[in-house]
């Protein structure tokens, strides 16, 4: 009898660990630290340097979240706010530009809005970025060219930060949509000052 109780206990513990891990993967813990230009990976900086001509408010960041680390350059160019992100291997991940709902094609925005309304009775879109993922293009230079021309392409994505009303109050979420408005990813986003060990 004791053997079965012990086995049942182990199965329950394993179940809780598995469910906890699954729930954890749906939450984004993120910290962003401003760093000096000299601390930014040199190869990454060299790859984006030709596209920084005329850029203002150039800032460098190191970002740590629950699963990885990356480096990001943020700047303003031609009245638009850009961010260029690289992984730890100094490879380009994506280029993002901050946009407004009016910049999204009407059909795509309607699809996105319907999805948001199906999730929350009340919500507020806090930020939208048009994303040019590196894997969608043949090279870094093509990714940069498309992004800095601010082209609407089938390969782009829309990354949004949304505050939605839940039973526990308002919470922030990060959502990623495809070019036509289909939801690709959704996760809860904890505030940047959330006191959580990320190392």
Within a domain: residue 7?
A: no
Within a domain: residue 149?
A: yes
Q: In total, how many domains does the chain have?
A: 1
Give residue 66's pLDDT. Answer: 74
Q: What's the domain range around 41?
A: 29-189
Within a domain: residue 171?
A: yes
Give residue 190's pLDDT. Answer: 74
d(CA 121, CA 129): 23
The sign of the CA dihedral 166, 197, 61, 133 is negative
Give residue 68's pLDDT. Answer: 85
Assign residue 47 the CATH number of its domain. Answer: 3.10.450.360
Q: What is the pLDDT tens value at each position of the chain, 199 positions in all?
A: 555 454 454 444 444 443 443 333 456 567 889 999 999 999 999 999 999 999 999 999 999 987 789 999 999 999 999 999 999 999 999 999 999 999 999 999 999 999 999 999 999 999 999 999 999 999 999 999 999 999 999 999 999 999 999 888 999 999 999 999 999 999 998 765 544 333 2
Within a domain: residue 13?
A: no
DSSP string, 110-147: HHHHHHHHHH-SSEEEEEEEEEEEGGGSSSHHHHHHHH
């Amino acid at each position: 009898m004791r053997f079965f109780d012990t086995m049942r206990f182990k199965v329950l513990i394993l179940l809780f660990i598995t469910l906890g891990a699954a729930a954890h993967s749906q939450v984004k813990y993120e910290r962003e630290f401003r760093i000096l230009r000299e601390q930014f990976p040199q190869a990454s900086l060299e790859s984006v340097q030709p596209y920084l001509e005329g850029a203002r408010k150039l800032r460098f960041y190191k970002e740590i979240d629950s699963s990885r680390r990356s480096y990001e350059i943020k700047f303003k160019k031609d009245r638009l706010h850009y961010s260029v992100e690289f992984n730890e291997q100094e490879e380009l991940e994506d280029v993002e530009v901050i946009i407004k709902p009016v910049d999204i094609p009407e059909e795509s925005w309607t699809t996105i809005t319907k999805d948001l309304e199906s999730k929350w009775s009340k919500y507020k879109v806090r930020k939208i970025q048009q994303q040019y993922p590196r894997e969608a293009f043949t090279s870094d230079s093509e990714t940069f060219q498309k992004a800095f021309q601010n082209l609407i392409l089938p390969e782009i994505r829309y990354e949004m930060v949304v505050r939605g009303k839940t039973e526990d109050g308002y919470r922030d979420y990060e959502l990623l949509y495809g070019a036509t408005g289909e939801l690709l990813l959704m996760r809860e986003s904890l505030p940047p000052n959330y006191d959580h060990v990320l190392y």
